[in-house]
Amino acid sequence: MSGGHRPRVSWSGLRPLLLRLHFYAGIVISPFLLVAAVTGLLYTATPQIEAVVYRHELRVTPHGEPDPLSVQVAAARKAVPEGTLLSVTPALGRTDSTRVVFDEPGLPDNFTQTAFVNPYTSEVLGQERTFARWWLPVRSWVDGLHRHLHLGEFGRNYSEIAASWLWVEVLAGLALWLTAPRSRQRLRRVFVPRSGAKGRRRTMSWHATAGMWTSVGLLGLSATGMTWSVHAGASIGTIQSALAGPTPAVSTTLPEHTTEARSGTGAGQTKDVGIDAVVASAHAAGLNGVLDVKPPNKAGTTYLVEENTRSWPERHDSVAVDPATGKITDRANWADYPLLAKMTSWGIDAHMGLLFGLANQIVLALLAIALIGMILWGYRMWWLRRPTRGEGFALGRAPVRGAWRRLPGWFLAPAVLLIAVIGYYIPLFGLPLLGFLVIDLIVGARRRSRTGHTEVAA
């Protein structure tokens, strides 16, 4: 290059490469996205399904004043005699039941046995096997279907592939659609499907405008989905911890001077003010939402009371309560959590349809339906690209290859490095991308050998 002139990067050079990536990813990754969208759509309805299926366990008729919480827990203990008490969630509303959670021999990992108690009569309304102490069997089954198709850890790769590629497909699609050649009414055609178009143009218009309207939501689902994933989730957790700093945590160990004082007297070691007094202390400390009360798990430890209000505004304050005196020994406030930790919590709860209640569920359902439509329209566009002349079955043509040759080295080298770094931290993005490249090289080599033309893979 004379005079140090550096070649410019033009969109005409980038667009074909992006188009080919969007095409290949759409063909290969879309089945994973389709399964995630269909199972996610089913998941959005689980609160309503649970309310019907478990109405006997979840809902009660108010009658006078509730029994002491200790009486309710005692009734649950009798119903689950071999269980070890893990936590108690007092009834929040007048028509809610109390949940008493036990660890029981023979249960699978992460599963517990939950007894539902009528607060007004201390009658055990029923028992259910719950996942992660909160999810009832219907939600647990649908959640497992959405996360890993009930195939265990191996099945989680499907959802991680979907989450790792959804953001790529959305951003590539946005770039291609926003830069597509248009005449008049440019802005309107970006957001509104073309009414007069037919065939592939009409299908593309619906595919692209649906992507425009749902892009923010789909990017959010992709980001939050990756936080739960096995491989990318570990990387995201490490980065988040480094950026956000430590999250406040409650110490359930009794202060040393308290332990020494009780040891010196030889009394008070087994004294317990009771769960009712512990809940009263938590209420006095400002915890008034959905409470999760965990008893001391060994000598020298406290009760742990955590607020688990996952609707807006979220509340996750927690306190440690001395079992002998009922006094607060430590606390952690949601207000003191790093912003990044709060954003992660908000994103995850929004992904699960918990943050804004029914409105959240409706938005998620619309996003799932839109994604299903976009995938089907995408495959229809592929079908409409197929050759209509000649004999035999033929698939749609891929976009032209060799686009990378239009890009200058000063741009291409750091771009490849950046993609390699992203692929390292999000391996189920990087490995399929490498697979696309290898397959493309093989296909290109075979075509060159057949036609004798010089052809370079994209």
pLDDT at 158 over 60: yes
CB 274 within 8 A of CB 311: no
Q: Judging by DSSP bridges, how do beta strands 303-307 and 318-321 pair with one another?
A: antiparallel
Q: Which of 159, 351, 338 is nearest to 239 (CA)?
A: 338
pLDDT (average), residues 30-45:
97
CB 205 within 8 A of CB 193: yes
CA pair distance 303, 322, nearest whole angstrom: 7
Model confidence at 407, pLDDT cuts 50, 70, 90, reads confident
**Predicted pLDDT of residue 20:** 86
CA distances from 220 to 134, 183, 250 (A): 24, 32, 30
Does 181 sit behind a cis peptide bond, omega within 30 degrees of 0 on the bond before it?
Answer: no
**Predicted pLDDT of residue 185:** 53
CA angle 374-375-379, nearest 5°? 115
CA pair distance 40, 53, nearest whole angstrom: 20
pLDDT at 329 over 50: yes
Give residue 332's identity as a one-letter amino acid code. A
CA angle 431-435-438, nearest 5°? 140
Instruction: Residue count of the chain, please give it.
Output: 458
pLDDT (average), residues 101-112:
94
pLDDT (average), residues 42-65:
96
pLDDT at 237 over 90: no
**Predicted pLDDT of residue 395:** 56
pLDDT at 2 over 50: no
Residues above pLDDT 70, as percent of the chain: 88
CA distances from 40 to 32, 94, 211, 379 (A): 12, 32, 18, 21
Model confidence at 85, pLDDT cuts 50, 70, 90, reads very high
pLDDT at 1 over 60: no
pLDDT at 305 over 70: yes
pLDDT tens digits for range 162-221: 999 999 999 999 999 988 876 555 667 788 887 767 788 899 999 999 999 999 999 999
**Predicted pLDDT of residue 259:** 61
Model confidence at 385, pLDDT cuts 50, 70, 90, reads confident
**Predicted pLDDT of residue 267:** 45
Per DSSP, the three-state class of 292 is strand
